[in-house]
Every structure is written in structure tokens, then in C-alpha cells.
Amino acid sequence: MSASRSLAAGLAGLPTAACRSMQSGRVPMKTVLVASTLAARPRFASAPRQAWSAAPARRSFTTTTPRRHGHIDPPKPGEELYVTFIEKDGEEHKFAVSAGDNLLDIAQANDLEMEGACGGSCACSTCHVIVVDEDKYDKMPEPEDDENDMLDLAFGLTETSRLGCQVKMTKELDGLVVKLPSMTRNMQASDFQ
């Protein structure tokens, strides 16, 4: 394409007023072409900025009900199971409880002296109980290794010792009697440093 044809094609795209000014010689051709190019540029700037300034999408936020130790629901009529705690001074307390309640929760719900320092996570021995009846002891599921490890640290360990937080009431354990030891020991890793 010759230079004169290129110029003609460029001028064809210019606004009429700009052509007239250029043809009259009042405005240099280069200035008119640059101004015309800038005017023809698409304006993208505002759209993305609006997108960034928009409020962030709302996120859903959920919570779970915290597990409270020492909280137990009363048993349904006809489904009561009985457990007796013997305190250090020999005083006995018999409670009607539901299947699935553990001995730590039952003791704490009834203000018995059972510390439960680790909150029932099998990491202390402050929920140590001594099962009085060997038959009942045999009906309990075997203690896991974690429980045995903690029981090894318990004060006054016996053949029928268990951790209260690990023993859940079942029909087979109805009538269970447990003694609270004369003292408990809270052995934690920090005790050995």
C-alpha cells in the first residue's frame, strides 16, 4: 500500500472536525492521530475495580455443641441402671443413670470428689476407681493400652482398678459398686522434666 493510500485510510477513521483542522493546517497531523487513537481506546479500567471493591462472599460459620463433662441426662423411666460410689470416708451414694454414661460424668454430675484433670481423654489418673465386685469387673470391656499406661501411675492401684472416664454403664453393669481411692496422683509429662 502506498503512503498516500495509508494516509487516506487513516483519515477515513478520524472524526470530521479533526480532519478539517488537519486539512486547514491549524493542528499538526501527528497530534490529531494520537488524540484520535486515545479517544478510540476501550475503557476497561472501571469494571475490574468495581469487582475488587465488591463485598467478599459470605462464608457459612457453624459450631458444634461443646461436650460438658459432668453433664448427664436423667434415665428414661424403666431404663434406669444403678451405680453406687463409696467415698473415702465410707459414705455410699447410689444413683440411677442411663446406659452410656461414664463413671467420671456420673461422679461429677453428683458433686463427688473425682477430679478428671484431663477431661476424660485418658491422660491422667485422677478418675481412678476401684471396682468392688470382681464379677462386674470381668463384665467390663478390657482396658485399652492408654488406660493401662495411666493406671500404672495411679495411687493405690488394685487388681480391679479402672479409670472412671473409660467405663460406660451398660445393662451388664447394673448394680455396679465402685470405691474412690484414698488419694489420686496427677502424673503428667511435666512432672518428669
Q: What residues make contact with ligand FES under the rule CB under 6 A? A: 104, 116-118, 120, 122-124, 126-127, 150, 163, 165
| Beta carbon of residue 145, minimum distance to ligand FES (angstroms, whole number) | 13
Residue closer to ligand FES (CB basis): 116 or 181? 116
Report the 10 Å Cβ neighbour count for 151.
Answer: 17
54, amino acid identity: A
Residue closer to ligand FES (CB basis): 15 or 119? 119
Residue closer to ligand FES (CB basis): 109 or 118? 118
| Beta carbon of residue 164, minimum distance to ligand FES (angstroms, whole number) | 6
| Beta carbon of residue 190, minimum distance to ligand FES (angstroms, whole number) | 15
